[in-house]
Each structure stands twice: as structure tokens, then as C-alpha cells.
Amino acid sequence: MQERRRRAARLFAAGKRSQAEIARALNISRQSVSRWYQAWRRNEPDWIGGAGRAGRRPKLDGAQCKQVDEALRQGAQAHGFGTDLWTLPRVAAVIERVTGVRYHPGHVWKILAALEWSLQQRRGRRGNATGKRGGVGWRSGWPAIKKTPGGAEPGFSSRTKVESRSGHR
């Protein structure tokens, strides 16, 4: 946005275009160009800088996000969980242990998306050397899972795990 404001200031100084033409050239609204023009004419010192950040600042900084990513790559069992599957409550617990920042499990997805981790669900195993299937198949096992308490809640199933998009767990 600052670069757009600088370009607008150069166009204002050149005086060759109307505000509507500047708005089309910069792909912004005419109202914004009008506000910028008024600020430019009054020689307001900080109009190019804009209003600043919109919304709440993130709870975790870049270094803390890196710590969380490294902790998750160690695997769930390294953090005392019974299986090596990551669930949202487990990830939330690790984030709190590593950084001291508490997140609701439902909001952990924002952190995981920023770390480029994605949801992975097991759909059953392929046949082994004896030709028998191991584990529960997706179609055959879903009715039983769905009927278990909490089994239909998204993100909280024991069959849900989270993996990094780079292939590491």
C-alpha cells in the first residue's frame, strides 16, 4: 500500500490525471484517492505510511513459531503422548508447553497453516504380505467411529493426524 501511495503522490505532483484515472491506474477506489489527495495537499507527514496494522497482533512471534515447528517434528510420542498422531488438543498442549501461549484447540489450525502443516487422515492400511488388511477401513470402520462418543467431532478423532506439507511428522 505504501508503494501505491508513493505512486499516487508522484501522479498528484505531475498533475496530469484526474483522481478517477489515478484510481483506475492504481486499482484502488476513488474514495481512497480522494482521501490521499487531501492528505497530500495538506502536506500531512504520515499519510504515505497508512493506518498501520489492522486487527490483533499474533500471540506467537517468528522465533516461537519456529520452536513449535521443531517440537512438532519430534513427533507426539516425544512429548509424552501414547501414539505418534497429532490431534488439535495435543498440538495446543505442545504450543503451550513450548511457548507458554495458550490456544484453544479449534484455533490451532491458524498456527498449523502458518507452519505449512496439513490435515492427514488414515483411510486404512494396504494389504500386507499375507494379503490381509490391517487396521480399520474407512468405509467399513466409519459407522463404528461415528457412533462412538466424540467420534463425529471434526479434528478430535483419534484417527486424525497432522503432518507437515514437507513430509515430516
User: Does one domain contain both 147 and 66?
Assistant: yes
Per-residue cell: 11: 501522479
Q: Is residue 49 part of a domain?
A: no
Q: Which domain holds residue 121?
A: 62-164
Number of domains in the chain: 2
Q: Judge if 71 and 12 occupy the same domain.
A: no
Closest CA to 85 of 150, 166, 162: 162
Query: Within a domain: residue 88?
Result: yes
Residues 98 and 145 in one domain: yes
- Both 16 and 72 in one domain: the answer is no
**89 and 142 together in one domain:** yes
Residue 166, amino acid: S
Sign of CA dihedral 77, 81, 85, 88: negative
Structural contact between residues 75 and 33, judged by C-beta atoms closer than 8 angstroms: no
Is pTM beyond 0.95? Reply is no
* 71 and 145 belong to one structural domain: yes
Residues 83 and 114 in one domain: yes
Question: Does 25 reside within a domain?
Answer: yes
Query: Shortest CA distance to 88 belongs to which of 2, 147, 168, 154?
Result: 154
CA-wise closest residue to 76 among 85, 67, 65: 85
CA distance 12 to 40: 8
Q: Do 11 and 78 belong to one domain? A: no
* 69 and 137 in a common domain: yes
Asked, for residue 113, whether it belongs to a domain, the answer is yes
On whether residue 149 sits in a domain, the answer given is yes
Verify that 31 and 71 share a domain, yes or no.
no
* Domain membership flag for residue 169: no
d(CA 146, CA 159): 12
d(CA 9, CA 3): 10
Q: In whole angstroms, give the CA distance from residue 159 to residue 152.
A: 11
Q: Is 155 helix (H, G, I), strand (E, B) or coil?
A: coil
Task: Give a yes or no: residue 46 inside a domain.
Answer: no
pLDDT digits (tens), the chain, 169 positions: 788 888 888 888 888 788 899 899 889 999 999 998 998 888 887 777 766 666 777 788 888 989 999 999 999 999 999 988 888 999 999 999 999 989 998 888 888 888 888 776 555 555 444 444 444 444 444 455 555 555 544 544 444 455 555 555 5
pLDDT in the model for residue 130: 47
